Amino acid sequence: MRKLIAGGLVAATALVGASGALAQQKDEDFVKYRQGAFQTIAWHFGPLAGMAKGDIDFDAELAQRNAERLAQLASMPWEGFEGGPHDAGDGHTHAKEAIWEEMDKFEGGAEKFQQEVDKLAEVAQQGELGPLRQQVGAVGDTCKKCHDNFKED
């Protein structure tokens, strides 16, 4: 059994980089993580925005699943900023300096986003396009507000 565990741990370690990297995350890891988390959020928001705009057919089941996932994902990206590096060491980032200069405002925006996607997940359970459309708009507004303030184009 011990050998099995050890094997799994060797595998686990290989997956997340060399042993030292586990204890000390590299700047690059922070940037990759927060970009990956936003990418995952955008993927799930896309079809909801498409349904709200009428670009794709309303699919109540997909809307509910994606809204639920968004409510789970909404809390995730921020730890890639707080206490993290401003860029990956090579200047590669879309994050504005304003994030660290106005962390309270940034965190407030993250909280507002969480509130609106939580409401989206509730609304999506109704299975009706009208209320969903309205709440997708409310979520989109929180995204845009933060991007305007804190994200480079």
Is residue 152 classed as helix, strand or coil in its secondary structure? coil
Tokens of 105: 């405002």
Backbone angles phi, psi at 54, to 5 degrees: 85, 10
Q: Does 152 bind a second copy (CB under 8 A)?
A: no
92 binds a second copy (CB under 8 A): no
Segment lying near a second copy (by CB under 8 A), choices 38-46, 85-93, 94-102, 117-125: 38-46
The gap between the terminal CA atoms of the chain, to the nearest Å, is: 52
Given the rule CB under 8 A, which of 70-78, 82-90, 92-100, 102-110 is the region that contacts a second copy? 70-78
Question: Which of residues 43, 97, 101, 128 is near a second copy by CB under 8 A?
Answer: 43
The one among 59, 76, 93, 96 contacting a second copy by CB under 8 A:
76
139 binds a second copy (CB under 8 A): yes
User: What is the Cα–Cα distance from 150 to 100, expressed in whole angstroms?
Assistant: 10
**CB distance 89 to 28 below 8 Å:** yes
Nearest partner of 33 among 75, 81, 71, judged by Cα: 81
Would you tell me which residues interact with a second copy (CB under 8 A)?
Answer: 4-17, 19-20, 22-23, 25, 29, 32-33, 35-40, 42-43, 45-50, 52-53, 55-56, 69, 72-73, 76, 80, 133-134, 136-141, 143-144, 147
